[in-house]
Chains A and B, each alone.
Chain A
Amino acid sequence: MDNKDKTSALQSDYAFSAVDDYNARMYILPHLINKEDRDEIIAEHRLHPCGAATQPGKPAPNHSKVLGRLIDKLRVVGQRHKHTIVETIPWQEYTIGYLPGYRGGVIELSEIKYATREDAEHAIFLQRLEAFLDQYGIDINS
């Protein structure tokens, strides 16, 4: 039996997945079920997809607790087919790449181009959010 064989709950790291799912259902999904709440989170992300510098005398522009928890969840998924941003024309044009998940593989590039890195970041956020909601049977558009 090889260590990588997933022949038991323990070998397949079942507990991690179970607790991760619990955390998602308890602390993230309740904020995403209602479309109005969801749109508010999406709008907040659109404003500062990657954060921003702190201005003197102002609080640091942290993401709200809900958005912070959501984007951390979306960013920590495994590397296979994970989104990345590829610069196609320096400072002018970007696209989304999909990682192979291992060194030596091919990064696939989307045909859609974005004018800024922030636009690409937000587009990735929406794609990830849609896929995440889909796991729980929620349509991002409804």
Chain B
Amino acid sequence: MDSIQQSMLRITGYSDKFSARPGEEITFFVHSEQNESFQADIVRLIHGDTNPDGPGYKEELIHTPISDMHPGVNQPVYAGSYVLVPHNKVFDVASFTICAYIYPTTPTVDNEGVAVGVQGVLTKWDASNETGYGLFINESGELCLRIGRGKDKVEECSTGKPLMRKVWYKVGASYDANTGKVRVFQIPYVTNTNGGHGMSMLHPLEDTLGEKEFSTHYGVPTNNDCPLLLAASTEKTNSGRTIFGAHYKDLSEPLTIPVHTQKYNGKIERPKLVNCALNKHDIEILLSSQGIENVPNEQRKNVIGAWDFVANIKDNAASTTIIDKSLTLAHGQGVNMPVRGTTGFNWSSEYMSFKHGPHEYGAIHFHDESVDDARWAPSFTLKVPAELKSGVYAARLRVNRKVSADMEDYIPFFVRPPASGATAKIALIIPTFSYMAYANDNLSVNSVIAQLLTGQVPLLQPGDLLLNKERGYGLGTYASYRDGWGVNISSRLRPILNMRPKYIHVLSPSLWQLNADLHITDWLEEKGFDYDIHTDEDLQREGVELLKQYPVVLTGHHPEYPSEQMMDYYHDYQMQGGRWLYLAANGFYWITVPHPDNPNMIEVRKGDNGTRAWTISPGDYCNAFDGKHGGLWRVRGRVMSKLLGVTFSSFGLTYSSYYRRAPDSENPQCSWIMSGIDYDEPIGNFGLIGDGAAGLELDRYDLELGTPHRAFLLAHSEGHSDMYVSVSEESTFHARGYFAAGTGDNNPKTRADIVYYKTPNNGAVFSVGSMTWTGSLSHNDYDNNVSQIMTNVINQFLKAGELP
């Protein structure tokens, strides 16, 4: 056996923004695995598919000042969410009490059976020098108090009983410096609902209930200058990195973050710190309120930390600021986006949203693989040249100027037209929210059913090998954290290794997302159509006015993750005479919310319905970023067929098929679309994605689901294999022979439909209902019937006035 490192990617990076206009700057952050220097160049990406059966890889070198050798540095990512409360002398205590409610999700091992190790709950702990104090879960899954007085002078007092996964506990520990008495406890708190899908019959309770007292005479904890952390402890006080601005908008100056360790998976609620040893009764009172509302006046001054996770939940739960209700006012910051507004120990199911019952949503869920921003040191900055035309570009990085798959990486970015206005009549909207949703899915390794979904063994490339080694690169919304909870937040401020030219994606026989969207740019270039590029984020910010600059707008091949505002803008564009080509399938499917203060992050919650990688926990349906119901757009009355004329019906992430023309295609209002194509000619029985134009995911018309009543069916696909299955929302019962739950060989709804309809003010929509349509454009040197249909549609759409 060889080691992985021989063929693993040795360089990668990300940029501070996805898109820029000429004259604007983009900064790139590069990691060099072995600290090797690298050559950086800017290239225009035209065609990213390296398949020898197609036109081959195409890029164009752009001469810019950044073309040079650059020093390379290994830059780690410090993954894992936690709350950071800056060091404060008031935390240098002698006697103390720590208490909270906790809901551990990996008390000893993760979902893969891997030991998680020690996990910090509330710590003022220097893990390198073993000083301070903290409430932890030890390697055996027992709650424990640690008092550190220097290297190898650590006392651990544990309950001696293992915590159980998905059970709420009242936990705490106290230390009396005068008597040396230590008390530590974990008391299960189980109701009919608060465990979510976990049990409500915990019997015998003694299996996990632990209360112990100890005596110690080694003295008080040794003070340190570490921050106080929730859900971790401190390995190094100063990581050299800071948080400030964007989603940390409440900070008045940059705040240094530590290198953290002993990361906790699970929920915490009502964490409190007191500078004396409280008795049981007083702890009970302290935990009975979010802050210190119920604490008797004579004891208020003793409470030196009472973090109230409900305090700043309003219309959303997106703030990173964690409010301290004690007299200390030691407010904290959530780093790496811990999940806020999640069900608490007292969740009763009376409320299904933190907006309606915030007092039952006082928990924060922490995950040790979360990443909001890699926070790498910048490597170089590009000022986009004034004359650079709009398009898809990348910073190409080559270790020591070597050209091989493991020595080369690309950081894609998108150049928009100048602010003065459009430079073309066609706009291609790059579905960057979808790229973020699929970021680093790593499904070959993460999903036990990946090989069933795709009908083949996944192919790994050098970037996949790096991604698997670096579990800290953060995940996307197709993965689950190691505690089994779905990943609901994705950031682009870290390498996204499956968003690259030349990349072959696990969910496809070949391409998916960015690299497949380059099939469109290549075809536009070959056919001589000028086009401008914008991203989802640009549309989110600028609205329908952006779209209205263009008589023709194109989607990418899989724009699955739109925001509410984007849905509105596309609808407004149609109403105001826009002409739109939906070159995709399974688009406009999941409710997606950019962070209100940082558009580099999105949130997606996958509810009980829909074809999904995971299912949200009971009560957690609403997005933290906007407080609205998450899941399918369909459940909020915005099924995609209202916008596209077609709706997601089936999928098979394997080989493709072709289309047959339907009678509407001969209607005088439509026949121009099929000009040059015989009626009996199969359409798209070729292509670079699964060898056919109808494949991967398929959309069909449905008048019951909002397809406009004057829409035309131009063509439909046929012959999908039994690998193609219905989407779960299509079938309320699964019964053998019931076609709604059938497969390609017995369900007539397993098909892609090409649908066309007119909209007010001479607008129109042309939908292909397949994710592999664009992969067929280049066949036979771009001379084929898919390419012909596209040419016919775009040429007609570019003509002002009434459509035929």
Contact = CB atoms under 8 A, between A and B. Distances in A.
Nearest to A109: B2
B457 A120 contact: yes
A87 B442 CA distance: 15
Nearest to B652: A51
Given A51-B721, A60-B657, A84-B460, A109 B7 contact: yes
13 contacts: A2-B107, A54-B658, A60-B720, A61-B721, A79-B112, A84-B444, A86-B459, A86-B460, A87-B460, A91-B51, A94-B459, A102-B113, A108-B2
Contacts of A108: 1-4
A54 B698 CA distance: 15
A86 B7 contact: yes
A14 to B, nearest CB: 17
B52 A60 contact: no
Contacts of A124: 457
B460 A107 contact: yes
Interface in B112-140: 112-114
A107 B457 contact: no
A30 interface: no
B459 A85 contact: yes
A83 B459 CA distance: 10
Interface string A1-38: 11110000000000000000000000000000000000
Interface centre among A76, A86, A103, A120 (most CB of B within 10 A): A103
B457 A106 contact: no
A54 B458 contact: no
Contacts of B2: 108-109, 111
A45 B5 CA distance: 32
B655 interface: yes
Contact of A60 (B405, B685, B745): B745
Interface string B430-457: 0000000000001011101101100111
A137 interface: no
B151 to A, nearest CB: 28
Contact of B654 (A50, A58, A87, A104): A50
Contact of A86 (B114, B456, B465, B692): B465
A98 B482 CA distance: 20
Interface centre among A49, A51, A124 (most CB of B within 10 A): A51
B747 interface: no
Nearest to B447: A79
A27 to B, nearest CB: 16
Contact of A2 (B141, B656, B691): B141
Interface of A: 1-4, 49-56, 58-62, 68, 72, 75-76, 78-79, 83-88, 90-91, 94, 97-111, 117, 120-121, 124
Contacts of B166: 3
A107 B465 contact: yes
A60 to B, nearest CB: 4
A52 to B, nearest CB: 6
Nearest to A4: B109
B630 interface: no
A50 B96 CA distance: 63
Nearest to B6: A109
Interface residues of B, number: 68
Nearest to B472: A104
A104 to B, nearest CB: 4
B480 to A, nearest CB: 11
B748 to A, nearest CB: 14
B468 A107 contact: yes
Contacts, number: 165
A75 B504 CA distance: 20
A117 B459 contact: yes
Contacts of A84: 444-445, 457-460
A33 to B, nearest CB: 25
A60 B452 contact: no
A54 B446 CA distance: 30
Contacts of A86: 7, 459-461, 465
B385 interface: no
Contacts of A58: 719
Q: For the complex of A and B, list the 3 residue pairs with the smallest distance between their C-beta atoms, beginning with the closest.
A: A53-B691, A104-B471, A54-B719
Given A50-B456, A78-B448, A101 B7 contact: no
A95 to B, nearest CB: 8
Nearest to B442: A103
Contact of A54 (B165, B208, B504, B655): B655
B711 interface: no
Contacts of B1: 98, 108-111
A105 B692 CA distance: 37
B685 A88 contact: no
A56 B682 contact: yes
Contacts of A79: 112, 445, 448
Nearest to A63: B722
B301 interface: no
B162 interface: yes
B227 interface: no
Contact of B456 (A49, A68, A107): A49
Interface in B77-114: 107-110, 112-114
B405 A90 contact: yes
Given A54-B719, A76-B448, A109-B1, 7 more contacts: A3-B164, A54-B692, A60-B720, A76-B449, A90-B405, A103-B112, A109-B7
B607 interface: no
Interface centre among B451, B682, B745 (most CB of A within 10 A): B451
Contacts of A102: 110, 112-114
A83 B141 CA distance: 33
A24 B440 CA distance: 35
Contacts of B469: 104-106
A49 B455 CA distance: 9
Contacts of B108: 2, 4
B445 A51 contact: no
A108 B1 CA distance: 6
A109 B632 CA distance: 40
Contacts of A103: 112, 369, 442, 445-446, 468, 471, 482
B587 interface: no
A104 B459 CA distance: 18
A101 to B, nearest CB: 6
B722 A62 contact: yes
A121 B456 contact: yes
A62 B721 contact: yes
B779 to A, nearest CB: 12
Given A53-B685, A54-B657, A2 B721 contact: no
Contacts of B459: 84-87, 94, 117
Interface string B1-22: 1111011000000000000000
Interface centre among B52, B405, B656, B721 (most CB of A within 10 A): B721
Interface centre among A56, A83, A108 (most CB of B within 10 A): A56
